[in-house]
Amino acid sequence: MAAATAPASSSSSSGWDFTCNFEVDYGSEDHASIVYKTLAVDTELQPDKVRREMTVSGGKLVVRFEAIEARFLRASFSAFVDLMVLLTKLVEEYSVTNEEHSAL
């Protein structure tokens, strides 16, 4: 369901040397959008040390993290994934599909 890549570091001079990119395929633009909108309000606690960019495309949530140190990347990524897993379970359990909504 999810794919992630995380190069250890790069020789970038910008200071954002540690990155992680991943995507989660929800199979539905609606489900991916619900997760995106919910997670988007939770900003990074240390934006001077960690940056996060999210988009929704083709039913997939696409996320990119950048950090100045590996430990900041790990902490931010771990907390984000914990919330994302909870939201994914909620969406899968309680979401109403368009077909179900039109039948109501």
pLDDT along the chain (104 residues), means of 10: 50 77 93 94 90 96 96 95 94 71 47
| DSSP three-state, residue 97 | coil
Q: Which of 45, 62, 80, 43 is nearest to 5 (CA)?
A: 62
Distance of alpha carbon 74 from alpha carbon 21, whole angstroms: 12
| DSSP three-state, residue 47 | coil
pTM as predicted: 0.77
